[in-house]
Amino acid sequence: MYGGYALSIYNYTNVDIQHITIDDVGGDDITDSFGMALNFGGHSGDAIINIDDVQAQGKVSERDPSYTAWIGIVLQNGSIQSADYEEHDLDQNTTVNVTNSSFMDYETTFHVESMAGNVYWNSDNITTRAKDYFIAAGINGELKERTNNLTMEMTPWGRNNIVHGLYYT
Distance CA 69, CA 128 (A): 13
Confidence class of residue 14 from pLDDT cuts 50, 70 and 90?
very high
Q: Give the pLDDT score at 166.
A: 67
Mean pLDDT score across all residues of the chain: 87
Angle (CA) 128 133 134, round 5°: 140
Confidence class of residue 5 from pLDDT cuts 50, 70 and 90?
confident
Distance CA 123, CA 137 (A): 18
- Does the pLDDT at position 160 exceed 70? no
Return the sign of the alpha-carbon dihedral for residues 52, 53, 54, 56.
positive
- Of 29 and 150, the one with more pLDDT: 150
CA proximity to 60, closest of 36, 104, 22, 27 = 27
SS3 38: strand
Q: What is the DSSP letter of 65?
A: T
Q: Give the pLDDT score at 73.
A: 97
Lowest mean pLDDT among 27-41, 80-94, 112-126, 127-141: 27-41
In the chain, pLDDT over 70 holds for what percent of residues? 86
Q: How many helices (H) and strands (E) does the chain have?
A: 0, 9
pTM: 0.89
Q: Give the pLDDT score at 163.
A: 75
